[in-house]
Amino acid sequence: MIIVHDIFICKPGNASKFAKLFKEVMADNTDLVNIMTDMTGDYNKVVMVTKYESLTAYEQSFQKYMQDTEEMKKIKEKMKGYHELYLTGSREIFQVW
């Protein structure tokens, strides 16, 4: 199993907005495990945790977002402007033993 952490450092005052937006947009995504905000460590941090059976499954999930389906158009419309809410981001991929 693969666990992925997509980590964002948001602009001050935007972490909860960013987390709520992702929670709404990802509500139907069965790969989503949690969306978390910081209590200690870096301020304004949001971490989206997803899980996949393999790296191949993770890569295939990206193909879904590249398609020009009606579902993806709705998601892109909801996500419009989300880049304005954060400063930087990173991704960590873990193999579960």
Tokens read off for 56: 């191949």
Q: Which domains does the chain have, with CATH numbers?
A: 2-95 (3.30.70.100)
- Cα–Cα nearest to 12, from 38, 39, 43: 43
Q: pLDDT tens digits, residue range 37-86?
A: 999 888 999 999 999 999 999 999 888 777 778 888 888 888 888 889 99
Q: What are the distances in angstroms from CA 18 to CA 51, 57, 93?
A: 20, 26, 21
The Cα diameter of the chain in Å comes to: 39
pTM: 0.88
